[in-house]
Amino acid sequence: MILSNIIAGPCSADTKENLFNTVNELYNIGIRIIRVGIWKPRTKPNMFEGIGEIGLVWIKELKEKYTDLKFAIEIATPEQLNLAIKYNIDIFWIGARTTTDPFAVSNLASAIFNLPKKDKKDKTLLIKNPVCPDIDLWEGAYLRLKDCGIKNIGFIYRGFKTYKSIKYRNEPIWKIPVQLKLKYPELIMYCDPSHIAGDKIYVEEIMKEAKLYGINHFIIESHINPECALSDINQQLTPMKLNEILNDINSFNEENQNKEKLLIYRKDIDEIDNEIINLLAKRMEVSKNIGKYKKENNIEIFQPERLKALINKLKSVGKELNLTPEFIENIWMEIHDESVRNQN
Ligand code: PEP
Ligand code: MN
């Protein structure tokens, strides 16, 4: 079966042998678009920064061998764009770090704009989200690129860098790609589960989650021998493992699909409830301390005047926020009762 909604391939090309073997196996499982990193934007210097132009020579050879294969590479500068054109690469993507920089995006947009029409006729351009969760920066990159002369433009969602401690490498804040998808429904939204996950064991669950949000196109890192890869060792799948996951995903229950708005509202509610419950617990802790203080200083625990003043103040704040006085009174009487029980 040909998998037209999947792009797969190594994070970076390393040796010709690895690249050819990876592509051969991916071809056999039905992949027809191969991703290959040629220049790698590394966070710190002195790491593997990509194989460079020789990788494009290998791709040229692969394109002669498999004439129905398309290749996708990351470009970040006009020089890289020109080389990609020279070697007839089909799909370019703009990486997360590049999308973060409006100058870099504008430079690329002008370079593409200035290409002869014939050179960009059948090309596709995919824009990864920026490193930080800023939907405007992501949309801004699209707005800068949309008139560059390449008609097929799409997005790639790869999650966001975060300081929170989470199990993934990048935080998937689904409402951001969903908002962009709702605003530009004609553009394809790919999900890159590999860079969200950071570990191959989470790739499948992220794909399932993406599908719940109506995202059905994926760009996935795959390497014939991930342990020997020169970048992103942990998150690359062998083509065989990728095939297993794709089969699983195919039979995945899709009844929740395209309810992305509802899912996002529910996620928001879950987050808010979580905040409320944590604040309530915090409030009770403070209340216990007050109880102790009152006991030590022989102060009456229940103070009707204080309660009256508190509820009146909250009612007037609530009014400004469109919360009815009855609602405020009911909730805070409950909270107050629990506080008194705690103080006792
Ligand atoms: C990549 O695709 O290998 C890559 C560097 O991704 P990102 O730009 O999402 O970090
Ligand atoms: Mn990578």
CA distance linking residue 18 with residue 30, whole number of Å:
19
Amino acid identity of residue 157, one-letter, is Y
The alpha carbon of 117 is separated from its chain's Cα centroid by a whole number of angstroms, namely: 33
Q: Where are the beta strands (DSSP E) in the chain?
A: 3-9, 31-36, 70-74, 91-94, 124-128, 152-157, 188-191, 217-221
CA distance linking residue 343 with residue 322, whole number of Å:
32
Residue nearest ligand 1's atom 1 by CA = 11
Q: Cα of 156 to ligand 2 centre, how many Å? A: 13
Q: Give the dihedral of Cα atoms 91, 176, 198, 240; nearest 10 deg.
A: -50
What is the position in ligand 1's atom list of the atom closest to the CA of 11?
3
Q: Cα of 219 to ligand 1 centre, how many Å? A: 11
pLDDT at residue 342 in the model:
84
Tokens representing 284? 């009770």
pLDDT at residue 301 in the model:
79
CA distance linking residue 221 with residue 245, whole number of Å:
13
What is the position in ligand 1's atom list of the atom closest to the CA of 40?
5
Burial of 2 (0-12, 13-18, 19+ CB in 10 A): exposed
pLDDT at residue 82 in the model:
98
Q: Cα of 220 to ligand 2 centre, how many Å? A: 9
Residues 230, 14 contacting (CB under 8 angstroms): yes
Ligand nearest to the CA of 39: 1
pLDDT at residue 263 in the model:
82
pLDDT at residue 258 in the model:
67
What is the position in ligand 1's atom list of the atom closest to the CA of 95?
8
Q: Cα of 170 to ligand 1 centre, how many Å? A: 11
Tens of each residue's pLDDT in the chain, 344 residues: 999 999 999 999 999 999 999 999 999 999 999 999 999 999 999 999 999 999 999 999 999 999 999 999 999 999 999 999 999 999 999 999 999 999 999 999 999 999 999 999 999 999 999 999 999 999 999 999 999 999 999 999 999 999 999 999 999 999 999 999 999 999 999 999 999 999 999 999 999 999 989 999 999 999 999 999 999 999 999 999 999 999 999 877 666 666 777 888 888 999 999 999 999 999 999 999 998 998 899 988 778 898 999 999 999 999 999 999 999 999 999 999 999 888 87
pLDDT at residue 259 in the model:
75
